[in-house]
A and B are shown apart, each in its own frame.
Chain A
Amino acid sequence: MADPTELLHGTLDTLVLKTLAWGPRHGYAIARWLEAMGADALRIEEGSLYPALYRLERRGWIAAEWGLSETRRRVKLYQLTDEGRARLAVETAQWSRFADAVGRILHAPIDAT
């Protein structure tokens, strides 16, 4: 998937939810965590993270609060809400089923039919 706009709809949102599952983070930290987990393979523009954050906030899945960063700067810290946590569980289950099905199809022997 070379073009980031082709990233499956909602996938980035799910990844962000997952990032926040371990505790509050600011936007830059989320980007670094995703990078560390190998997300550059997805070729996400780091900036597109922010619309995703605002979207999730609007839906009430994450909440933001202003706090101090490790560099003593005032930053917006995001954390999962209870709804967000529930949502993440649902998304994870859906992804597993989806990946499973796609995987079975792609790896099926040619003469199976």
Chain B
Amino acid sequence: MPELGRFARELRALLWKPTVEREVDDELAHHLERLEAELRARGVAPAEARAQARARFGDPARIGAECREIGRSRDRAYRRTRWLEELAQDARYALRQLRASPRFTLVAVLTLAIGLGASTTIFGIADAVLLRPLPFLEPDRLAIVWEETPSRQAFSVSEPNYLDWAARTRRFSRVAAFAGRTANLMSDAGPEQLVGAGATHGFFPVLGVAPILGRTFTPEETAPGGDQRVAVLSHDLWQQRFAGDPRILERTVQLDGVRYRVIGVMPRGFDFPGQVQVWTPLAPSMSWPRADRRMDAMIGRLAPGATEEQARRELSAIAAQLARDHPTSNTDWGARVRPLTEWYVSPEMRARVVTLLVAVGLLLAMACANVASLLLARATARERQMAVRAALGAGRGRIVRQLLTESVLLSLLGGAVGVALSAAAVPLVRRTGSAAIPLLSTMRLDWRVLGFALAACVVTGLVFGLAPAARLARAASPSRRARTGTGPALHALLRSGTRLADAGAMRNVLIVGSVALATLMLVSAGLVGGSFLRLMRVDLGFSSEQVLTGSIVLPEDRYQPAQVVAFFDQLTERLRGLPGVRAVGATNIAPYGGGNTAMGWAALGREPANRSEYPIASWRAVTTGYFPALGITLRQGRLYDASDASAPRGSERTLVISETLARRAWPNAPAVGQRLRLGNGQTARVIGVVSDARLLAVDSAPAPTIYFSQSRFAFPSMWLTIRATGDAAALTAAVRREVAALDPTLPVARVQPLAQLVSDATAQPRLTVLVFGLFATAALALAAVGLYGLIAFGVAQRTREIGVQLALGAQPRRVVRGVLARGVRLAVVGVVIGGAGAYVTAGALRAILFQTEPTDPLTFAAVGAVLLLVAGAASVGPARRAARLDPVLALRSE
């Protein structure tokens, strides 16, 4: 046995190896003695011999010191190589061990793969959404600023207010404003609607990103009256539409029928405020009405030394001053300063991701507990082996190291499988999630994520390996006890294979813990899932099935209000004539099409004293066909008709309003015939009340809504809503054809079934459900594996005891019942503890639940039942094996 020889040699080396100090002293003393003795033998007098020897030798103190120093560095180098050799040896040994018990290895590797794969995936999400810095210069010095309504909602920024902010701020070294706008690009491929953004000249410098070609806007180009026919292209647009033409700066592009000079191309990946293909100059003007003319937001870079808090205080002070200067428009309005990251990730989203991180941490802990309990079960069988190694001189530390090498190796194997699982899951998560979280589209398995996976593997391996290793090392320590004379433990161990009782107790704790964690995860998943089902069943108040939608933006310089009205009248007329079309309407904002509009209102005669105290309603510009197309029904009065369209401009408006608004305005009287005062001071008469619809969010109550007639409003940017008799998507080509027949330069953008928009709107809860569902499945699988492992090993250990029972005439059925009861008993304890934990902590989920109480008793009961069933199922196999034992063989098995 080569191993024995090696250990014997090591042991001898350990006992006989003197310290460097003794080694050197011994050696030098020997030399001097011999030299002196030889001189004396030649007849030199003793004192003279000593002096001569000393003279020939040199100074022993100096030479000794030199030797000791070299000797020490020699030993260090030796220890290093020895350590590496041992590590390689440990790894080889560990591999042999794992190969020797393939079933254990498979279960452990799969368990770890689930834990580590899930952790890696979730870390990838967190990395993409929370950790990766935005691709701008010093992104943590960037802030985004909105206005804040009197009711403390974020709101777009008025142009004059922005100009005042920009002129007065000292805490920002540089600011800029932007506004999303669509632009219709005309090219050889036909008309196409682009996502564009207007930006002031400070926009690119604030973000600290330079163009790869040409330049960005000059201050003159973003001042009122400047030459604004210039455009900066995104890298993607340049590549896709202009084939990366290097001479693009000499070209023009036709946007909304007007020629723009291309002055620059931004680098690949530069994308702000989001999916932008072309930037054009934005020229905010002081001469616009302060309340009306609005841009999306301001961005600013903090001045050197300034903190975000200082900037917040400064802008609040400026806003307060503006309110004093312009009371009609600015009273009670404020400024909201936030880190730029909030443009991408809302605090709610951040909470969601953090919840996921906690959940995945729990899952990993569960995997660790399970593998640790498997290792503990195996440890019993290996006590003898460890005792032998200890007897051969392997120290306790050496044995712990050997075992930790084994567990880290196991965890690396699990991690490799886990990363493979994760690689498969990433595209799924990206697809499901990027509609909800734009940053998720950047998620990938890169070196950061893989580095995390590797670190997680090593830490995990150490965590789950430590308890069994420590226990085995203790089992192996009889060699030490034997040395100190406390008893012939090694001898006893070698002969009997004594079991240590505490292994069972520790394993029970681990299994109960694992079941408790599974309960916690399953309850969370159950709550999220139940909440999702309720969300899917919620009555939206409109029907998105068989409805096609698409966006049309009429360029303002070619379409005056009257032409806008005429265009949409003609278009709806033509579309209605198409075969397969049941109803055609249009609205300025499709349900979940993005964006919202708000307007103050009050019942005439009961207006609050101050206009800023008016309650807020959403408003929509719609054509009459909109209501039947979406299945919104008339409750009182009538819908718009020709009389509203032909009413002279300047006469009092007529209004269709939603039920909620009608109920709030006139709780005790019919609304039709009543009059509303609007936030702009005008009055309007209610002619109809329609059913409520959740147009903004699936999970919030329908907002009070005012529907203006498009024929009076003439909104140039509209969404078509076309209800088909069959498949809505089949109408796409016909719709494009009809639009082109009216104006061949007009693109129809985002043509899609309305159901798609609805489904995108629920992408976030669906992502949460998907991830929690994956967790729950993994947790359930882990709990089942853990229980099975415990019970099977428990039965194996009690083979002798069961044999005795059977030999004494016990019914096999009783044996089965005993084993089953043991498994279920442990599971019950785990479920109770986990349930209590879930009861206490589920409140944290409240923010992401919809119409679901975090303590929903049905969920708790269902989870408990499922886990007990799993525990029972996991016990059946081992129990039946126990009952089939041959008593004689069982008794002999020791």
Residues of A within 8 A of B (CB): 26-28, 31, 45-48, 50-51, 53-55, 57-58, 66, 69, 71, 73-76
A58-B74 in contact (CB<8A) = yes
Interchain CB contact (< 8 A) of B77 among A31, A58, A74:
A58
Contacts of B70 in A (CB 8 A): 51, 54-55, 58
Interchain CB contact (< 8 A) of A50 among B18, B63, B73:
B63
A51-B63 in contact (CB<8A) = yes
Stretch at the interface among B28-36, B194-202, B355-363, B877-885: B28-36
Some 16 contacts from A to B, beta carbons below 8 A apart, are: A26-B30, A31-B31, A46-B57, A47-B63, A48-B58, A48-B63, A50-B24, A50-B31, A51-B66, A51-B70, A53-B67, A58-B70, A58-B73, A71-B34, A74-B26, A75-B30
B59 CB–A CB distance under 8 Å = yes
Contacts of A75 in B (CB 8 A): 26-27, 30
Within 8 A of A (CB), among B19-68: 23-24, 26-28, 30-31, 34-35, 56-60, 63, 66-67
B447 CB–A CB distance under 8 Å = no
> Top 10 closest A-B pairs, CB basis?
A45-B58, A47-B58, A58-B74, A54-B70, A47-B63, A47-B57, A51-B66, A28-B34, A28-B31, A54-B67
Interface SS majority for chain A = helix
A47-B30 in contact (CB<8A) = no
Question: Bound complex: CA of A18 vs CA of B26, how far in Å?
Answer: 24
A21 CB, nearest partner CB in chain B, Å: 21
Within 8 A of A (CB), among B238-262: none
Contact with A along B164-203 (1 / 0, CB 8 A): 0000000000000000000000000000000000000000
Known: A54-B67, A58-B70. A66 touches B60 (CB 8 A): no
B438 CB–A CB distance under 8 Å = no
B36 CB, nearest partner CB in chain A, Å: 11
Question: Bound complex: CA of A54 vs CA of B558, how far in Å?
Answer: 95
Residues of B within 8 A of A (CB): 16, 18, 23-24, 26-28, 30-31, 34-35, 56-60, 63, 66-67, 70-71, 73-74, 77
Contacts of B24 in A (CB 8 A): 50
B77-A50 in contact (CB<8A) = no
B58-A54 in contact (CB<8A) = no
B58-A27 in contact (CB<8A) = no
Interchain CB contact (< 8 A) of B27 among A27, A46, A58, A71:
A27
Contacts of B59 in A (CB 8 A): 47
Contacts of A27 in B (CB 8 A): 27, 30-31
A54-B35 in contact (CB<8A) = no
Contacts of B27 in A (CB 8 A): 26-27, 50, 75-76
> Which of A28, A48, A57, A71 has the largest count of B CB atoms less than 10 A from its CB?
A28
B432 CB, nearest partner CB in chain A, Å: 60
Question: Bound complex: CA of A76 vs CA of B25, how far in Å?
Answer: 12
Contacts of A71 in B (CB 8 A): 34
Contacts of B58 in A (CB 8 A): 45-48
Contacts of A28 in B (CB 8 A): 30-31, 34-35
A45-B31 in contact (CB<8A) = no
A54-B71 in contact (CB<8A) = yes
Instruction: Write the chain A residue with the least CB distance to B77.
Output: A58
Contacts of A69 in B (CB 8 A): 30
15 further contact pairs, Cβ within 8 A, besides A47-B31, A50-B28, A51-B63: A26-B30, A27-B30, A28-B31, A28-B35, A45-B63, A46-B56, A46-B58, A47-B28, A47-B63, A48-B58, A50-B27, A50-B31, A58-B73, A75-B27, A76-B26
Question: Bound complex: CA of A69 vs CA of B34, how far in Å?
Answer: 11
A45-B23 in contact (CB<8A) = no
Question: Bound complex: CA of A57 vs CA of B31, how far in Å?
Answer: 18
B825 CB, nearest partner CB in chain A, Å: 61
Contacts of B23 in A (CB 8 A): 76
Interchain CB contact (< 8 A) of A73 among B30, B57, B67, B74:
B30
B74-A50 in contact (CB<8A) = no
Question: Bound complex: CA of A71 vs CA of B30, how far in Å?
Answer: 11
Interchain CB contact (< 8 A) of A51 among B18, B56, B57, B67:
B67
